[in-house]
Structure formats: C-alpha cells, structure tokens
Amino acid sequence: MGQLDTRKFQMVYSGFDHDFSDKLSLNVELQFYHEIFYGRNYSFNQAVFDSLVNAGRDPIQKIQSDEIYDYFTDIYSQQSSSGSKRYVANAQLNYTISKSTKLIGGYVFNMLDILGLALSNKIQNPPFNETRSVDNRMRMPFFRQMKNSAFVQIQKNLFNEKLSVTLGGRFDYHEYFESVFTFRGGLVYHPLKNTHLKLLVGEAFREPNIFEMGAQTDEINLDLKPAKIITYEIGISQSISDYLSIKVNTYSNFVSNQIVPEGTLRFTNSTEQKHSAGIESQILANSGMFQTDIAHTYAYTGKENYAGQDINNLGIYTHRLSGGITAGITKHIFINTRVNYYNKMYAKHGNPVLNQIIEIPAFTKINATLSFRHIVLSGVELNTTVTVKNLLNGTFYMPNVRTGGPKQFLQPGRQFVARIMFSF
C-alpha cells in the first residue's frame, strides 16, 4: 500500500509555413497543453488515531487496511477541474540578406495557467474551486503566469564558406520576475571537405515554478530569481565515407542562482556556482533504405558530501546509451525504433528534511515511430508521424530537478504522440 499518482496529459500542435519570396519566409506555430493530475497517499496521523482510541478502539491492535483507507488516506485531485493549461504561440521570420548572410527574428508568447489540488481524506474526487483569488489555494492569482519573448540571430559565412559565424540574443519579459537577456554565439570551421569543427557559447535560464514560489505555504516568495546557466561547447564531426560519420561534443555548464530548498516547502537562490561537464559521442551509418546510429553520453558534476558519504554525480545519470534504426518500408513509409539505456544513479531523498540517499536502478526505455513522408493527395503534400514512447510500458524513476531526488518516484506508462503536416 503506497503512494499512487496519475497524470493525464494532452498536447495539440499546429503550424504554418509561408514563403513570401526566395529571400523571406514565415513560420508560425501554436501549441496547447492540458494536464489533469490526481493521486493518493497514506500517512499516519496521531491526532486521528487518538480520536479513534477515545471512541473505543483498542490502541494495541494493529491498524487494519480498512482503517487506513477510511482514516489515514490523503487524497489530492484535479479531476473535478478543467485542468492545468499552457498556451504557446511562436512566430519566426527568416530573411536571406545575401548569399552568405541570413537573419532570423521572432516573437514567443507563453502563458501557464496552473491549478492547485483539491484535498480530502474521504471523497475520492473532491470538488474543485476554480475561482481566481488570493484566498483560494486551488487557484491563486500567481498560478497564471505570462511571458513575452523576442529573439534575433544572424549567421554569416566567411572565407568561401570555410567559416560560419552565428550571433544571437533573446529578451524575455516575465510578469513576476526580472527581465532576462540571454546571448548565444558560435563558430563553425570547415577546414577539410568532410570535417567540421564548432565552438559554441550560450546562456539560458529557468524561472521558479509556482510550488517553489510558495503555492503550498502561507507566504508567497516573489523574491526568487531565475536560475542562470552558461554553456560552452566544442565539437567535431567527421564523415569517413558516404555511409559513415562520427560526431563528438564536449560541454561545460556553469549554473548560478540555482533554486534550492530551505525546507520542505520553501525555496531560495543558492549563492554557490555549480559546474557540470560531459562528453557526447555518436556514430551514424546508412545504407540504402536503412539508417542507424549509436550514441553515448557521459556526464560529471563532481563529488558531493551528503548523508555522511562522498558521492560522485549525486542525482545525475553518469552514462546514457542510445541506439536507433530507421528502415524504409517503401519510399513513403518509414519505421524507427530507438532504445535508451540509463545507468544506476544515487539521489537525495525527494523530501529535503530526510537526510537519505536513494538508489535509483538502471532502466531501458524503447520508443517507436511510424512515418509517412511526401504523400501527395489532390496537390497537397502530407507528412505525418505516430510515436509510441516507452513502448514496452516499462517502469522507471525520474530525478527531481528541484532537489536532486525523486520527484514522483515511479514513472510508468506509455505516451502516444501524433503529428501531421500539410504543404500546399
């Protein structure tokens, strides 16, 4: 008898591409996400037990299963609500200034409308109040957050396309947090016919979510700042023949203002800078209607002393192996299978009050995709894909991005994703 959580998730995606001329094109994408979450947990409550004893229960008798269901069940649910939602709209213009220079600019609107949870000890599907109010824990005003973003990027080829330079910037305005400007730049050097060397540097950030802001506390923490990350990457890609190529990338990340727990429910920004690094390698091969690749990722975050132990890569999967094969059934129908293996990991307990280390076992996840490409019907070109994630319905564990420990320990279930694109 343990905790059981259920998450029902849907995503609807649509996009539009239009070429105004040989130099100018537009891409528009709309995305809608919908989620309903519910679950139950069982926890002992001394006050409830004392009331049962006062009502005549034998205090020595072992607690029975029916008593656990009746008196010690914590039910949390969004089933009686319309669910949490996310709306994303993206517009991007692509302009070719000259043969060697390209310019990209765009705008992104992002709105999250997250709901809290209705709580009960008795009702399996407790009623939900969707009134937006500071007094309503199920839907406080800051649960809805809007962000507007603008970005621009220019790419210039130099020295007969031996060198490519990319510079870009992005400005994000969030209604609850300070505005953030991020930069990215890169150099791609093409010294030989089949060799590419690249050097990239980029900035990114992560805003606090509503739970880190205090959705479950009596005090809303609007002083939290977004966590910032700077990434440096060096890579090489080498084509050995028309059928075989190799890619190797190494990266180094520096994270500041990391959002860390002060207790079970309250979070703050860390003053420490966290460093991580890794190597990603991939071998790609193709022959006729078959394409395959094998990849390995190694990550390292250093040694951390926790619960009286010195542990490397606490809360991080050190090794990940991935392999995939794509087969052409016909010239229009393709099937892809990908296997992902994650090695054993040690993580902090999801509750920061508990100074414990949990061993998360290794797991393998298989995804399969069926694609229909370049099918023409009445002058309209059709491309569609259907993907099944976690094909074998295996169970695996996911680390909590906030504390480094398991967020929602067991993560079973398949995902079905479909996408269709029309060109006319």
pLDDT in tens, 329-388: 999 999 999 999 999 888 877 666 677 888 888 889 999 999 999 999 888 899 999 999
Residue at 412 is within a domain: no
Is residue 57 in some structural domain? Answer: yes
Looking at the chain, the whole-number percentage of residues with pLDDT higher than 90 is 53
- Say how far residue 230 (Cα) sits from the centre of its chain: 18
pTM of the model: 0.80
Total domain count for the chain? 1
CB 155 within 8 A of CB 101: yes
Assigned domain for 348 exists:
no
Find out whether 65 and 72 touch, Cβ atoms under 8 Å: no
Residue corresponding to tokens 């990209």: 104
Q: What is the pLDDT of residues 98-135, one digit of tens each?
A: 999 999 999 999 999 999 889 888 788 899 999 999 88
| pLDDT band (50, 70, 90) for residue 13 | confident
Rounded mean pLDDT, 201-205: 95
Q: Please answer whether residues 331 and 376 qualify as being in contact, where contact means their C-beta atoms are separated by less than 8 angstroms.
A: no
Residue 30 lies in a domain: yes
Helices (H), 73-184: none
Decide if 252 is inside a domain. Answer: no
Q: Is residue 106 part of a domain?
A: no
pLDDT at 399 over 60: no
Expressed as residue numbers, the domain containing 122 is 1-86+115-140
- CA-to-CA dists, residue 258 to 213, 268, 274, angstroms: 14, 8, 8
Residue 73 lies in a domain: yes
Looking at the domain assignment, is residue 341 inside a domain?
no
183-187 long-range contacts (CB < 8 A, ≥24 apart) are 184/153, 187/163
Q: H or E element: which one contains 222?
A: none
